[in-house]
Structure 1
């Protein structure tokens, strides 16, 4: 039986199954992607590649309703947020369609001896493999496929096993777009592959690089394989992002932002705020207001208008979060708020008194669980914020501009957001440090990861 199946997390019902690709089919898929690179992408002007991606953006918008419905069924994303994700994916594709030519323009180099000329010309590498997660089925693909196709790479895409329907919908969009603009059909190839088959793909000499968005465990396994075969890897892994409140002119607004940052995508966002570090003078007020607002968002039908919190993505995700929360309590954490899980509907929970000797201090809670910490100074906040194996994002709230920049410099994180949350945009690079991964996606920097920066020197 295939492991690729749509199991509605709101009901537990298996809605559809998709067959895994055969070994022969996989060989043909790699061959198709390689042919698309050698026969079309390598020689196509940037404008032609950008036109393809522009059409992909348009098709996301045209099929918005269908695409949103799919991911509500697949992973329980509230419908309002599903529409938002489709729109964001379209915006990402359009960003690279609009800016690709400028970003990839030849870069002249001033020569020390003044003789002749030299410049850098950016070109694709060939076939890339993307291994994508379930929590943002369209957005994650867009930020990988969009810039890399504009650069001149072709894409093999292995989606999460619980997202085969959205994977098929994306593949149809690319199939339709390539046909309309006259591109090679192998520019984007969806593969329902097993882990063993993925190892085969990584070993294939036609593959030039791998991008993984997912768990720390998955990233480490793929990076080990890729390193063995000398393939470049970009890793976007987990996070345990701090939300640091040092001062504010509007506590209610700061609390609302904190709740929004924890509830986004049912609490299943890599860069969602998970640890709330609050200065002592504001802690009691913040905690009371946060608990009231956070727990007001009880899980509900994700298809209903206005639902803020739907079910967790799967039974496995629910079991994992239940076990983590129980273990935190067993090890001595204080539960300030919680509820009773029903199926995959997991009510918000708030922890306090989490200490470094507890597992909860070091783990990522992938769901609506928040941990509150009281600190007495800016220095203590920095120490606590950085005392984690992760380094994806961070959020700093302060009315002191100089303090804000000091905090930004002090954060061991790939991203620092000051006095705002949920500010991601196509032009802003996304990525982390430490065990949150390496490399950047989105913005101009996404075009620099899998590219040949070819030096061309011409004699005088």
Structure 2
């Protein structure tokens, strides 16, 4: 099978990649097992040093990596640079903190000694998406490799160029052969890879459908999974909020990466007293965003990663309008480019409310009370994160326990930070990445008892 990576802005072919044979896949799996047996014995200090080197390489070659991201999936070049630099930060974070996270956990019992130690488990198979093609991989790889595991990457087919460069980062940093390997495979090889005895766990970032399929396969073979799936985040603005600041935050929360983010704000739930002001200022802000060639430094909105993604968003817009939503801005599509779009009068039952809209579409809802706002926020099968904008921090904190999502941000967009655990509830998946939690997902927390 032949894969083509196509620039969504001009439809030019970025690269062509041949699928690996069953024999080649088998050889890479065996190489992973061989590498694990020696890698796990490398002192933690040395593994951490290598990860720090990977971070330095990312910074050094940021332009090369950022360019490939933009060519393959259309992200504005300034955002691509920021993504690569964030990957360097996650390398630094785990290099600096792994010793503390992996240290023995002393627990007092009636034993002479009793503690929990943290041992690596082996090969972790990562199935990663195209929307943040470097960041999604590094936030898995940094803690997993430092812990003594080895990684196998199946990236999205439209970013195989990024996948090859990521493997190259670890090679340049001096990681032993086989510790991190890129697999050029179609999804029909997923089950055989998961089933292989070498693979001990699976981590997936992707759609709800992909997550359900991988979880089912992994359960059949008793393999642990971590799933980070879709989202339909609510952005709630109370009437006491600083509207100008809320609008500025909202613009980034919705339009970053052209709206192609699981944690993007998608449903804007606004108190009726500030609805008109917020919508007017938000609309002005969206109009001022510069669309164009994502390789140009001033571009803020580029194409979606593929034409079929823009087609899907257009269908969601049109159906919502047919059901009574008011088209306030945008709404047109040209190939993979979809205009930044704002819909007013959005209600439950419309695609703009019920579904994950993976693109530059903002849905505006008007409510009378704070309780109604949170009730609408909870009216979703997803549960990644919620933003609340208000000057009454104390009151906002009281509502944190009422939100079922995995994150609750006050006066800030929901975002991932290497120092904080990240993950969702409900159909948004399970497990946590980043912080100490992310490292603990793929280690054997082994109880040691001495009488």
User: Which category of TM-score, normalised to the shorter sequence, fits these structures?
Assistant: over 0.9
Report if the CA contact (8 A) 2:76-2:299 is conserved. Answer: yes
* Structure 2 partner of 1:148: 144
Distance 1:31 1:42 in 2: 16
- The number of residues matched between the two structures is 451
Aligned match for 2:64, one of 63, 66, 79: 66
| SS in structure 2 of the partner of residue 199 of structure 1 | helix
Aligned match for 2:77, one of 76, 79, 93: 79
Q: String of CA shifts for 1:331-365, please: whole Å, max 9, x gaps.
A: 22221111432222211111122222323321011
Moved runs in structure 1, 4+ residues, more than 3 A?
none
Distance 1:126 1:382 in 2: 42
Distance 2:415 2:426 in 1: 22
Aligned match for 2:208, one of 201, 216, 220: 216
| More moved, 79-88 vs 249-258 | 249-258
Report if the CA contact (8 A) 2:242-2:390 is conserved. Answer: no
Relative distance call for 1:423 and 1:210 in structure 2 (3 A) is closer
1:164-179 maps to which residues of 2 (within 5 A)? 164-178=160-174
Distance 1:197 1:362 in 2: 32
Distance 1:425 1:169 in 2: 23
Structure 1 residue 298, shift from structure 2 partner: 4.6
* Structure 2 partner of 1:159: 155
| SS in structure 2 of the partner of residue 163 of structure 1 | helix
Q: String of CA shifts for 1:29-70, please: whole Å, max 9, x gaps.
A: 1111111111x2222221121122111111111111100000
| More moved, 325-334 vs 267-276 | 325-334
Aligned match for 1:407, one of 399, 410, 420: 399
* Structure 2 partner of 1:23: 22
Distance 2:181 2:224 in 1: 20
Structure 1 residue 422, shift from structure 2 partner: 5.8
Which TM-score applies when normalising by structure 1?
A: 0.96
Structure 1 residue 193, shift from structure 2 partner: 1.0
Is 2:40 the partner of 1:42?
Answer: yes
Distance 1:340 1:102 in 2: 52
* Structure 1 partner of 2:50: 52
| More moved, 324-333 vs 409-418 | 324-333
Structure 1 residue 287, shift from structure 2 partner: 1.1
1:72-221 maps to which residues of 2 (within 5 A)? 72-111=70-109, 113=110, 115-178=111-174, 183-221=175-213
Q: String of CA shifts for 1:412-455, please: whole Å, max 9, x gaps.
A: 11011111126532111111000000011111110111110011
RMSD: 1.3
Distance 2:176 2:400 in 1: 45
Structure 2 gaps of 5+ residues are none
Distance 1:42 1:88 in 2: 26
* Structure 2 partner of 1:6: 5
Structure 1 gaps of 5+ residues are none
